[in-house]
Each structure stands twice: as structure tokens, then as C-alpha cells.
Amino acid sequence: MRSFLASKLKRQPEGAGAAGAAGAMRDEDIIINGNFDSGLEGWRASYGCKVSLCDPNALQGIQPRGGEFVAVVSGRTQGWQGIEQDISERVKPGIKYEVLAFVSVAGVSEADVLATAKLEKKDSDTKYMQLGRARASRGTWTRIQGPLLLNESFDKVLVYLEGPPAGIDILVDSVSITTQSSGIVPGKQDYSDVPDTSPSDSVIKNACFSRGLQGWSARSCTLTLDDPHVSPCTGDHFAIASNRTQTWHGIEQDVTGRLSANIMYDVRATVRIRGGLSRAEVLATLYIQKSNMQEQYMTIGRTTASAESWSSLQGCFTIHSMPKRAVIFLEGPAPGVDILVDSFSVCPAKKPEPSPPPSFQNPMFGINIVENSDLHKGLSSWFSMGSCSLRVATGAPKILPPSAKLSLEFHPEFSGNYIVATNRKFGWEGPAQKLTERIQLFLPYQVCAWVRIGGSSQSLARVNVALSVDGQWMSGGEVDASPSSWTEVAGSFRLEKKPSEVMVYVQGPDAGVDIMVANLRIFSVNRSDQYAALKKQADQVRKRDVVLRIKSDKSGTPLRLQVKQISSSFALGACINRINLENTKYVDYFLKTFNYTVFENEMKWGWTEPEQGKLNFREADELCKFCADHKLPVRGHCVFWEVEHCVQGWLKKLSKEKLQAAVESRIEKLVSRYRGKFQHYDVNNEMLHGDFYKSRLGDEVHANMFKQIHRLDPLARLFVNDYHVEDGREANSSARRYVQQIDSLIAQGAPVGGIGVQGHVDVPVGPILRGSLDELAMLGLPIWLTEVDVCSSNEHVRADDLEAVLREAFAHPAVEGVVLWGFWQGCCRSDGHLVEVDGTLNEAGKRLEALRGEWRTELSGSTDKEGKFAFRGYFGSYKALVEKSGGKKVEVSFDVSQDTNTIELRL
């Protein structure tokens, strides 16, 4: 072996040129002896480990990439030990550098290796900056790549490689830190006299590119300014992120030190795409590095961007502790697709003024706003959408559809007339009527009709009652209609912004199929009129007559007592995720309010195994510990997700045999790990809306998933889980379709133990929800509303919606629990939160507290001569504080359940 001392030639590491980072331009390398051609000159071991050179014969088959030697870091007794170099005299603040290293590991098949900068300054705490991270493998070289940008001067700057657990050697082929243009190819060079037009409170500087690309960086791509073929949306300039070779490549800005904890930020961007696709999703992402070096990526906004015009991207976020480093960037489209950014701002959200309750002028509850719905005046007020023909016929049902009967006190008999739409050339053609002046904002409207299709076959066709609101479509109900009988279609809607035009029309079947419509009715609903009946029903379903028998110390002497319910048997839960646990206000409210939970994302396969073979159960484990510590029962959501766009990319590339093996491995690893920790599992989420596994593995795959999970955890109750089951919006996911799917699973031997109705209800109307629950209840399985959220820009309306859903669920005998899909501002759908980011309750949160109070039993009184105290109480756990003679008080506990009758209390 030739001595390394004989060689003084210093070469640029392979890959440090154009191939290193997509078209980037590089200058001087500030690392000394990056290829180790001069031995260990410039390098040293950090924190007491050993560094030596190794010749190729000792590398067990792996060959150096560029130079002749490889540095080996051994004798590591701590994870942070490695090889380091002092670059204090060669690094300058304000200049962006790119770090590039090629590493391997020995002693293990793979381990994380990190490039880190240690920053020291007199009279200041030492800071650490992660520069790059990669999962290195034995027997091959892995690239670590990342930026280095100092915003201030430091007395000492050390760069080192670290990361694997103690005892694992790090092999280093080469290291370089080069100045570069950050992938930025500027347009106009001098912006010193141009003001920054960003909002004054924007976390993002130069948000509208008035100062060119100043403050921006390329995330492993190339940045340029403007395109002569595209006009800016606002201002004079926009940025283009091109040469993107990964979906996460894009434009970024380091916002370290500019974010504050527990403040809601609004994200706004104007974006566009270029090259290869007409539409693609663009995401705004926040990268956070915490003080313990833990990393986190958070999607803070998204939109479907177009190649034809600018699109608005919106979002919001909150952080709960100050990060060590924070970067905001745009990503998402496929490699090769450019991202154009006209503006990008992140500003503290302005807290809106509390919204007043809507004021309705003569809401006309129950009054049909569709004119001439019974067709007594022929086709007056009706017209055809498209070129189809309309005529009036007779022979339709003369009674209200069932859902309307539950909403309306007056049940008229109708003429039996109906509209027939013929000669339909397109699926959207059918009878229509304008409603613009008859709609009041914020009122919930119920839709119902009898529908039928033409033809002699037994095949069904989808019929939809649609609302066109200023050209935007929304569903007012959808059903699979038959040519042989009339079918009820039911739905609901609400408008919250003043429209220029509102039109209702009936559409859906293929061209050439006739549509028949009878008694189309749209009327506003006074949901509170039904609450008295729901309270009475809840009293029967959720309460029990109880007699407490207490022996007094003197015969016949009454005892004073106070009875207070401590917890409810009815499950009222909410989803959580790992980051929520860092917000103490969030945790306090959660533990005070809810008695059940589910993990929002941390159990999903895309989270626990985003790359094949790289498992991540850390966050799920931490959440499990939190729940165990607080004795919270947990739903397991979800083992699989049937919708294709929710399946991670590597699964889509597998052959049938390998996909089957991956499915079995997923069940084995997940369910065995958490055996006994989850009371429920959502086995395969949204099987009414997707067919990823079924289309690839066959019709029996769903039942087999249930069987295999049951084999590994027989005590867990296994659920189906789907959306729009309860609101009539989609025929594909109607309660009837759901029942058919569950029946099929049971017929195949699947141990289905419960029905999950997600409950993302836009405009809840009691009779529609109740009818769906009734239909599902015929299966005899318990029902859970698993992901409830309601949304309205007016918090009073949101409160009314939430009350409508919760009262229906609480009063229904088949429903065992309700789980909310978020409740904190920024942690749920837009306009769906109950608690503001500062911890105060809005009207929806106050309504939830009122219902929780209503559904708890608390009373006081005295025993009778026989020592008995009778009351009717909600199911749950209780405490009784009994005052004995002499004033001594004794506290005793007891439970009330469906089987409770007389309870003996021993003092």
C-alpha cells in the first residue's frame, strides 16, 4: 500500500460538481483534505473516539468513490462521537454553503448518520445545527447533503459527522462544503434601492419577490426569477423552482428565530406549475428541528395548482415550543414539474371579532321553497338543463318521503304528478329551477324527493339533486334509482355567502336514460323542535332507575347525601397526535373533557413505514404511553387504507405476491406490537371509496384482513369505517351500500365487531342522520361516530350543528360512542374548532360543555325510613357523600349500568 504521506494532491470529491445538486454552481471547498488524500490532515476525532485511515482491502468489498483512502471512526461509546474539522476561519455569515458527504457504517446493517455544526460564541450558549441526515447502509456509500447558512458570526465553528448508536463504526469516503449560488440564477442583480413589499408582520421576508430572490434558497433545485411567457399575478416578479428531481424539492426560506409559540399563523401563497402536468398538488411545509435534534415536518397549506392560471394556497399552523431551526418551503409536484411562486406570506392570524348569531327574517321553517313542486301548474317555474325535453306525467307516490315526514308536522297528500326528463344527451341534463331570492344565509335546508329512472332493465342509475351556486356544484342528495320503483333521495345544504344565482337541478344517469322526479321539496329546518323528543329518547336509552340502600346508625333516621356522577359510560372522545402533547393547554382540556381517543396519523401505514423496511413506531409508542398513563381507552386507526391516493408509493410498485407479503407483514408487526392496547381497530379505512387492495389481491382480501387481525388480538373489536354514510350526499356510500358491504364481509367469515360512521357532516339534519343510523342498526352491531367534525364560519351555527349531531347520537340506542376529529384551532378542519388557540372556548366549545353538563347526574336528598334513596341517573361511575349522625361525612363509590337496580352502600 502506498503511503498517504507521499500524496499531497487534493482533489474535489466525486459528486461535488454539477451532479451533486441539480445545476448548482460551486466555488471553493472550505473543507481541508476532504478526500483524505493527505491522511488525516485537518481532521480529528470528536469527543474521545478514534479516527484512522483504512485501505481498500479492509473495506470488505466496498470501494472508495474518488480518493484512495477512507476514514474510519471507531471506539465510539456515545452516539455523538465522530470525525470533525474546525472551519472557523473559512466560513462566513450570510453565505450559503452546501454540505456533501459520502458515508457508510460497519457493525450494523444500517444506521442514521448526521452532519452537524457546533457553533460557539463568547458569553452565549453553544448551538448545534443539523446540516444533513441520511440512513447509511453497510457495504455501500450513502450521500448526506444539506445547506449551511450562518446568520451571524461565531468564534468557533466545528463540522462533524455523528449519529449511529455506540459501538457502530462510521466510514467516511469524502466530505465537502462548497459555496454555491444556492441554485439561484438571479434576474435583476441590484435590489438595494427596492423596498420589501412583504406584510410588515410576515415571517417570510421578501414575500412578493420585490427584491428579487433575496432571502430565498433553492431546496436541491434551481431558482430563477420571472418567465417572459407568464405574467405575474401581483407585483412585478415571481420565482421559479426548476430542475426538481424529487417531490420535496422547491423554494425555501429559513425562518429560524421568527416564529413564536402558541400563536396561530395564516399561510397564504399564490402558485402555479409548469412542465408536463396540467394540474398538481403544491404543499407548503414547515420543517422544525427541536433542541433535542428531533426533526418534524408539518404540512401547513395545500392547493391543487394549475399550469394555466395562478392558484391560491391557504393554510394555518401553530407551534408549541421554540424550535432550534425552522424552514418553510414549497413542495409536492412530481419531479420535473416546476413550481412558480408569485407571493408567499406567513403572518400571525388576526383574531376575528366574535360572530353574532345569525338573524333570520321569517325563516319559514318547513315551507317548501321549490315552486310548483306538485306540478299543479304544469311546468311553470321549471326549465330544462341542457337540451333535454320535459313533460308532466302522473303515477308518483302521493305521500312525503320518510325523512321529510320526520321533519314536518303537516303531511299533505300530493297529486301524484311528476316530471319526466327525456332526450338527455349528457349526464348533467334534467329538470331545473332557480331559487336565488328564496334562500336565506346560514339556515340549514333539507332536500327530499321521489325519483325513478326510465328503462325496462333492473339495473340502477345514480340520480343526484344538485345545487349550482354561482356556477359551483354542491350535492343536495344522491341515490341509486331504479326503473321499477320510486326511491327517496334526501340531503341537505347551507349557504354562508350571498350568492348571485342559485339553481337546483336533477341529474346523474347516463345520456339517454330518462329521469322522473316527484315532489322535490327544499325547506329550512328548525332542529331544536326535535330536541324534546331526543331528550326523552336519551332518557330511555342512557339512564336507569336506581335505588341506593344505606343502613343508618339509628333505625329510621334519614341520612342526608349528595350524589354526583364522576364519569360517563357513553364514550365521548377526540383524536390526538404526537405534537399536541407539547401544548399543555391542549392536554389539560383534552383530559378534562374526553374519555376516549384515537391517533390522528401515527398508526397509519404511511406513517409507520413510509419507506419499505424503515419502520417508525416512535410516535405511536409515545402516544400509547400517554394514554396508558391517563387510563384512556384507544381506537386503533387504521391498519390499512383502501383509497389509492392514501397508499404510500412503494406499495404501489409491488407485484401481487410481494404486496400480499407486505400486507401480512404489516398485520404481524403492528398488531403483535400493540396486542391488548387498542380496544378497537379500523381494519381497512374507507372501503366504500377505494379498491387498492381489493383490485390487486382479490375479493377475499378484506375478510382475510379481519381474520388475521382477530387471530393476533382476539379481544379487540374490529370495525369498518367510512364517510358520507350518514348524510345522503353520495349514493356510493349510502347506508344501504354500507349494510351490503358489511353483510358480505360477515358472509365471508370476517369477525366484524362494529360499524364506524365517520361523521364529517357539512349540514347535519336529524331525520337524515337518524334514518341512516336506523338502517345500520338493523345489523345488530354497535355503531360509533368515529371522526365527527362540523364546520361553519359562524361559531353559533357551528355550535348548532354540533348539538344536532351529538343529540342524535346520544339518543340512538345503537350508538356506543362519538369521537371528534379535532377540537383545537389549527388541529381540525377550517372553521371546525371548538377551542381557540389561546385556550378559550368559542360558542361551539361552550355548547359541548353544556351538553356534557346536561348528560351528567347530580342531586342531593335524604333516605326514607327504610334507608333507601331512589333516583334516575345516567350510566357511569358515581360518588355519594353521606352525612351520618353527628355531622361525619363518608364518601362511597358505585356504578350505574343497564343491569343496575338496587345498590347496597356500606358506610
Instruction: Mark residue 220 as left, alpha or beta (left: phi above 0; alpha: psi -120 to 50; beta: remaining).
Output: left
In this predicted structure, the answer to whether residue 57 has a pLDDT above a threshold of 60 is: no
DSSP state of 526: -
Give the Å distances, CA to CA, from 707 to 56, 282, 637, 666, 753: 52, 39, 17, 14, 12
Residue 686: active-site member:
yes
Q: Residue 789 has what DSSP assignment? A: B
Cα distances (Å, whole numbers) of residue 107 to 138, 169, 494? 8, 7, 63
Catalytic residue among 162, 252, 686, 730: 686
**pLDDT tens by residue, 194-204:** 778 788 889 99
Mean pLDDT of 477-500: 95
Q: What is the mean pLDDT of residues 843-855?
A: 97
- By CB atoms closer than 10 A (0-12, 13-18, 19+), residue 866 is exposed
Q: Residue 137: its pLDDT value, please?
A: 83
Rounded to 5°, the CA angle 129-131-133 comes to 120
The pLDDT value given to residue 138:
83
Distance of CA 176 to the CA centre of its chain: 39
Q: What is the pTM for the complete model shown?
A: 0.78
pLDDT band of residue 495 (cuts 50, 70, 90) is: very high
Give me the pLDDT at residue 656, please.
97
User: Considering 162, 488, 642, 787, which one is annotated as catalytic?
Assistant: 787
SS (H, E, C) 860-895: EEECCCCCEEEEEEECEEEEEEEECCCCCEEEEEEE
- Residues 763-776: pLDDT tens digits? 999 999 999 999 99
Q: What is the pLDDT of residue 10?
A: 29
The answer on pLDDT for 21 being more than 70 is no
Q: Which residue has the cell 409491488?
A: 654
CA distance 789 to 801: 9
* pLDDT score at 777: 98
Taking 80 as the threshold, does the pLDDT of residue 848 lie above it?
Answer: yes
Joined together, the cell numbers standing for residue 132 give 444533513
Please write the tens of the pLDDT for every residue from 758-814.
999 999 999 999 999 999 999 999 999 999 999 999 999 999 999 999 999 999 999
CA geometry: angle 851, 853, 858, nearest 5 deg: 145
What does pLDDT average to over the chain?
90
Domains and CATH numbers, the chain: 4-180 (2.60.120.260), 184-348 (2.60.120.260), 383-525 (2.60.120.260), 541-566+857-905 (2.60.40.10), 571-848 (3.20.20.80)
Check whether 674 has a pLDDT greater than 90: yes
Q: How confident is the model at residue 61 (pLDDT cuts 50, 70, 90)?
A: low
Higher-confidence position of 833 and 138 = 833
Over residues 251-257, the mean pLDDT reads 94
pLDDT digits (tens, 9 = 90+) for 145-167: 888 888 788 999 999 999 998 88
Q: What is the pLDDT of residues 93-147, one digit of tens each?
A: 878 888 989 999 988 888 889 999 999 988 888 888 888 888 888 888 888 888 8
Cα distance between residue 549 and residue 470, in whole Å: 66
Helices (H) and strands (E) in the chain, counts: 13, 47
pLDDT of residue 553: 57
